Amino acid sequence: MKIYKVDYKLENGTQMYAKVDTDDKIRLHATDEYPPFQAWLRANKDSLPDDIQAKIDAGELTIADAD
C-alpha cells in the first residue's frame, strides 16, 4: 500500500508530503493541493498515519471535498 508522510517545508512555508511506495522508497513530493494526495486522504480518512492526522488535528491540513 502506498502511503504519504509529512516531509520538509519549503522556504516559503509550504508543507511538502512524501509518497512512500510499497518498496519504502520516496519517489514523489507533493503539496496538500495535489489531487492524488487529496484522493488518498479522502480514501483513508479513518486510518491516516499519525503524522498526517496530527496536521489535520492542528488545522494545518484539510481534506478537500471531491469535485
DSSP state letters, 26-64: EEEEE-TT-HHHHHHHHHTTTS--HHHHHHHHTTS---P
Of the candidates 6, 9, 33, 35, the one whose C-alpha atom is nearest the C-alpha of residue 19 is 6
Question: What backbone torsions phi and psi does residue 29 show, to the nearest 5 degrees?
Answer: -120, 140
What does each of the 67 residues of the chain score in pLDDT, given as a tens digit? 689 999 999 999 999 999 999 999 999 999 999 999 999 999 999 999 999 999 999 999 999 998 7
Q: Which residues contact 50 (CB under 8 A, 6 or more apart)?
A: none
Whole-prediction pTM value?
0.91
Dig out the grid coordinates for 52 from the structure: 498526517
